[in-house]
Structure 1
Amino acid sequence: MHHDDNDDDLLARLRSIATEVDPVPDAVREAARAAVGTRDLDGELARLVADSTATTRGLAYEPVRRAADMVGDRLLSFDGGGLRIELEVTGTTEGLTFIGQVIGVGPAECVLEHGDGRRESLRLDALGRFVLCGVSPGPVRLRCRSGAGKPVTTSWVNL
């Protein structure tokens, strides 16, 4: 038996043991399917550039927080693809309220996407402002169109 064959067999056995002992939770599988299924290859990403719950300077590496960790209001800012999104999240794990503004948005509607595949339309006023009540906690992101008509999606945030 060749050395690489031994390594391949060992890796296959280790993978099998890991799958049996510590399987991937169904919620993680569902979120991964939703993320792949709702991606937009022509779209641009609006990255999270500010989070009031961030405690370190390296925001890009800040772990995503759960709703149970949220104390008081949470302020989030996203930037990219010609859009700036300011979002205030209030509430509890029973239901969240989003108050926000999308700057640089086109005439197309914006949608709040949930990790489980649910979508909620946002009604924007003439200045791009919106309020959405009764949002269930979990991973969410916004999908909008820039003033140039290009699809822009925020990074996922777990609320």
Structure 2
Amino acid sequence: NEYPQLGVQFEVVHHSQFLLELIHSGKIKLQEGQELRLTFHDPCYLGRYNDIYDPPRQVLQAISKATMIEMRLNKTKAMCCGAGGGQIWIQSEKGRRIEDMRFEQVQEVDAQVVATACPYCTIMLDAVAQIKEPTGKIKVMDIAELVVRALAQ
């Protein structure tokens, strides 16, 4: 969103939009994968700042045998992962942290995977997952990782 202010004009697309374009054009083909229950965490900047909600979900729906389950707070009402505003670098006080609250919502939908499309969200949610689900029952993955796993050979 800031590039025009810097005097440059070009279209910037998020990797979820690019992956969706590749899938729709047939440039990448996805094979039938394992059955998977997944949910999507909406990154703040992708959603609230850029109004991109559907492309990541459409990419995930293209992964066959994947069942998408929405968390109760999603899209425009989604909670932050806890990294927003530089919080990723701040030692938090004791008490309920925002990333803990968000991960509880992941647990509520009984997903095997929480997918996201932001490296900071991946870091924050994975840190909580390692504490709250040390057995690895819930994995945190970027949508690009899920696409790579589903690529046809």
The alignment's TM-score, normalised by the length of structure 2, stands at 0.30
User: Larger C-alpha radius of gyration, 1 or 2?
Assistant: 1
Higher helix share: 2
Higher relative contact order (CA 8 A, sep 6+): 2
Structure with greater strand share of residues: 1
TM-score (norm 1): 0.29
